[in-house]
């Protein structure tokens, strides 16, 4: 190919984006709604700070932004910088910026505090035992048994439940836009089915209010907070703690890590393995004479 042809063909290559807003829209495309909202908050915070186009953002600008939020929790800082790192790397990938400040940006190390957010089996059982409302009990039981996220529990409809023999399964549109299916025990399945009213339609919510409306994530959060308070748990428990408990307790009881990873819908085993490290059952220190 002649050089003139190469230049001509390169000139015909369409630009992937012409404005910062277009880059951000392309970057967020296909992400779960909650992730999209969280990333957008961080990006808007960054844009308000630098007050310039992404095309002229330097590594110094990003580092100055990092310094400006250093008083936030380390996990919040890491989340904000991870979003900016991802955005700038994407902008470079599509040719919108010349220098990839995302590659050069170093993220802070965040201490793994997951062990502090894992309920014991006794605490979970006490929460269930002291929750007398059938709907709330079934909600907590399903959260613990299935490790579904709060958004997945809130969006659950009767059409998402399928009978399988004496028990059944629940299928949801999970994080990443994938359909995720979890098998349920006979007890959990029967308790869920008992909630269904005769006039419920396939698209009716499994967990509804007295007026028949779908419970919001805020309402579901209040259910688990109230259950934790009744059980005398002082920590600020959220529904995600039930997910942590599922992973930790299943591994403690000998469940294969790949099966736990599949149930939690993790993309790789490394994500699931943090639960093993959060509450180890063995340590070489136990073999020392001290």
Active site residues: 149, 175, 240, 243, 266, 275
Classify each residue of 102-123 as buried b or exposed e, where b means 16 or more C-beta atoms within 10 Å of its C-beta.
Answer: beebeeeeeeeeeeebbbeeeb
Classify each residue of 182-201 as buried b or exposed e, where b means 16 or more C-beta atoms within 10 Å of its C-beta.
Answer: bebeeebbebbeebeeeeee
Rounded to an integer, what distance in angstroms lies between the CA atom of residue 82 and that of residue 183?
34
Alpha helix stretches (DSSP H) within 13-161: 20-28, 33-50, 59-68, 74-93, 101-104, 121-129, 134-146, 150-154
Rounded to an integer, what distance in angstroms lies between the CA atom of residue 126 and that of residue 227?
9
H/E stretch holding 181: strand 179-184
- Within 10 A of 140 (CB to CB), how many other CB atoms are there? 23
- CA nearest neighbour of 85 among 16, 134, 27, 164: 27
H/E stretch holding 182: strand 179-184
């Amino acid at each position: 190919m002649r050089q003139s042809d190469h230049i001509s063909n390169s000139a015909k290559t369409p630009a992937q984006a012409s404005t910062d807003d277009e880059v951000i829209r392309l970057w967020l495309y296909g992400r779960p709604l909650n992730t999209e909202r969280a990333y957008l908050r961080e990006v808007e915070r960054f844009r308000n700070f630098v007050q310039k186009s992404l095309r002229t953002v330097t590594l110094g600008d990003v580092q100055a932004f990092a310094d400006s939020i250093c008083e936030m929790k380390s996990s919040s800082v890491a989340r904000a910088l991870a979003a900016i790192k991802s955005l700038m790397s994407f902008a470079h990938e599509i040719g919108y910026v010349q220098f990839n400040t995302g590659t050069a940006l170093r993220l802070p190390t965040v201490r793994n505090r997951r062990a502090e957010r894992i309920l014991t089996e006794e605490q979970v059982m006490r929460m269930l035992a002291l929750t007398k409302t059938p709907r709330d009990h079934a909600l907590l039981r399903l959260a613990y048994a299935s490790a579904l996220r709060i958004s997945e529990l809130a969006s659950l409809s009767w059409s998402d439940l399928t009978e399988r023999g004496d028990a059944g399964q629940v299928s949801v549109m999970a994080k990443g836009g994938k359909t995720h299916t979890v098998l349920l025990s006979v007890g959990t399945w029967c308790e869920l089915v008992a909630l269904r009213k005769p006039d419920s339609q396939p698209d009716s919510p499994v967990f509804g209010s007295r007026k028949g409306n779908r419970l919001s994530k805020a309402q579901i959060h209040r259910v688990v907070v109230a259950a934790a308070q009744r059980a005398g748990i002082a920590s600020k428990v959220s529904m995600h703690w039930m997910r942590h408990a599922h992973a930790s307790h299943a591994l403690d009881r000998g469940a294969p890590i790949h099966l736990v990873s599949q149930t939690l819908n993790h993309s790789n085993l490394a994500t699931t393995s943090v639960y093993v490290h959060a509450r180890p059952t063995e340590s070489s220190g136990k073999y020392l004479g001290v």
